[in-house]
Amino acid sequence: MLVLAGWFAHQQKPGIAANILLWALTTMLSVLAWHSGGVRDMAVLGYPGVLIFAAILGNVRLFSGLLLFIVGYCSLMAALTITGYFHPFLPDVEFKHLVFTDVILLITGFSVYLLLRDQRRLMRGLREENQRVRNSQQTIARLASQDQLTGLSNRRFAEESYTRLYQRCLRDEHPLAVFFLDLDNFKPVNDSLGHAAGDLLLQQLSGRLQAISRAEDVLCRFGGDEFLMMVALDGEEEQLTTIAQNIKAAATTPFFIMQTQIEISGSVGIALAPEHGTEFNTLCKYADLAMYQAKHEGRSVYRVYNDDMGRANIDKFNLMTQIRQALKDKQFRLFYQPKMDIRSGRVCGVEALIRWPQPDGSYIAPDDFIPLAESSGVIADIGHWVLQEACEACMRWRQQGHGSVGVAVNLSYVQFRDGSLERSVQQVLRQSGLPSSALELELTESMLIGEGDDISRQLSAIHQMGVSFSIDDFGTGYSNLGYLRRFNASRLKIDKSFITDLGVSQRDEPLVRAIIQMAASLGLHSVAEGVEDEATLNLLRQLGCDEAQGYFWSRALPEHEFIAWLKQHNAISELPHSSEL
């Protein structure tokens, strides 16, 4: 039986092996007891060991069966002995009986020891596993509430801590201030030095913010280059200003990273509880609005939220909704402003400018709705519409005999990120029938900074179609000459801020002269924007500027008015000495 039990154990069938082994031992002990001393026989001492093994190695059915059998068998032997039907043999106690008893007790005791040792090992392993689980849970909780880059708390922890901190402020009758810090010009750090440098900067800034915060304050990295600090104020008005100045100073103090000194700044928005709200998300939203107001007012400043900011945000949201509807209802209009050849006085091109007329006859300025259209993603659809309308209008002019007039269309950086600009230009040119040489796309300097490879690829593909490019508002951005050659620009448009006071400002003339000379040396045409008087025109002619546009000739006009102006101008230009007008 032992061999059979061992075979089943070797076959990975421990249940069957345990059944065979334990029933065999029970049967053997029962036979020994029957043929010897009955219930008083030493063999009965082996039953507890069998039951212990059955309880640990077997299942409930095996243990219950053995227990019932042993109890029943012992009861039967006792009953038969009492009634005289069974006469157990009680031999004299000899040394061999002592040995037999000791062997049974030793085997049973050793078996119990082995089982308990295994049980203790299992319990120790279970405790270790439980400890590992607890450690893992603590790690998960820490990861869930801690920013891994900076070691600061994260937004989730700040939200969980807000209720506790706010309740304490209510009890002490003190306001709770939420400071929202957003770094200015952080992206150029990543673009120029790499994300590793940006990470080091955020880590250093986190250390500075920790140094100015108290143990009871809540400081967290809100996301990206945004940080949030919640402070229970003690009632003194100066404390709010001091904390805001300290936060701003932490961002503006130069950073030394990778042997490079980096100078950035930070804009801070502040919201107060319960004055501005009692919910965490509400206060964060208001502090964020105040932060954007600080950026709008020049950056590196702090602003406290007020209701005007909320109303302005609502107005922006409503305007954003109206923009989508205006595009759907075709409310936008294109106006056209001529570009003039300074030497000949003839029209050499037209710039298409979008306008949004209102029912009362007023117009919403592009500066008010274009940024919202860019942030909402609608600008891609608006840009395609502008391109389509401008090319179709230019084709109509050509069919009317104005074949020398080309059209310039402004682009948004969002149109490049959309990735469909090349396909859009190709589609519009094909549908309108306009020669690609008659289309010019205007880019701003800021669009050429960052993501240059992707922009370069798209512009190169469009340039191969025969479309030309101009750099708008030149002089107001980085003015990187390398970008001008890289992106196949053919014109530089000098920003009107340099042209408006050209005749009276001693600072603007040398700058304009330098831009014109630089453009000429690079083989580019120079275009002056914002010419409003003849004195400015004459000075630009002396400086060697090629083209110009402005109110001196015409403001931006609706298409039918522009055509009338164009016909009149061409008629005048055909008169003798008209080039001198």
In order, the DSSP letters of 333-353 are EEEEEEEEETTT--EEEEEEE
Structure tokens at 540: 């630009």
CATH superfamily of 330-493+515-534+541-580: EAL domain (3.20.20.450)
For residue 402, give the nearest of 570, 521, 176, 178 by alpha carbon: 570
pLDDT along the chain (581 residues), means of 10: 62 73 83 80 78 75 86 88 78 65 70 72 87 82 80 89 91 91 85 86 94 92 92 82 92 89 90 91 91 81 84 74 88 95 91 92 87 82 94 93 89 79 92 94 72 73 91 65 70 88 80 90 91 92 94 94 91 54 33
For residue 156, give the nearest of 139, 141, 134 by alpha carbon: 141
pLDDT of residue 188: 79
Query: Of all helices (H) and strands (E), which one includes residue 407?
Result: strand 407-410
Q: Is 325 exposed, middle or buried (0-12, 13-18, 19+ CB in 10 A)?
A: exposed
Phi then psi for residue 442, to 5 deg, are -100, 130
Pairing of strands 255-257, 260-262: antiparallel
Task: Fold for 153-305, please state it.
Answer: Alpha-Beta Plaits (3.30.70)
Instruction: Give the integer Cα–Cα distance in Å for 94 and 74.
Output: 24
Structure tokens at 245: 């100045």
For residue 247, give the nearest of 297, 299, 305, 179 by alpha carbon: 179
Domains of the chain by residue range: 2-122, 153-305, 330-493+515-534+541-580
For residue 273, give the nearest of 258, 260, 288, 284 by alpha carbon: 284
The answer to whether 547 and 342 are in contact (CB under 8 A) is: yes
pLDDT of residue 384: 92
Distance of CA 177 to the CA centre of its chain: 25
Give the sign of the dihedral formed by CA 24, CA 28, CA 29, CA 34.
Answer: positive
Please tell me the pTM assigned to this model.
Answer: 0.56
The answer to whether 451 and 416 are in contact (CB under 8 A) is: yes
Say how many C-beta atoms besides its own lie within 10 A of residue 350's C-beta: 25
Cis upstream peptide for 88 (omega within 30°): no
If you search the block for the tokens 């502090």, which residue do you land on?
A: 287
Instruction: Give the integer Cα–Cα distance in Å for 71 and 429.
Output: 101
Phi then psi for residue 374, to 5 deg, are -70, -45
pLDDT of residue 440: 95
- DSSP per-residue string spanning 46-87: GHHHHHHHHHHHS-HHHHHHHHHHHHHHHHHHHHHHHHTS--
Task: Round the CA-based radius of gyration of the chain to a whole number and report it.
Answer: 44
Instruction: Give the integer Cα–Cα distance in Å for 341 and 549.
Output: 9
pLDDT of residue 199: 92
If you search the block for the tokens 């006469």, which residue do you land on?
A: 87
The answer to whether 356 and 326 are in contact (CB under 8 A) is: yes
Instruction: Give the integer Cα–Cα distance in Å for 487 and 494.
Output: 18
Structure tokens at 476: 């107001």
Secondary structure class of 541 (helix, strand, coil)? helix
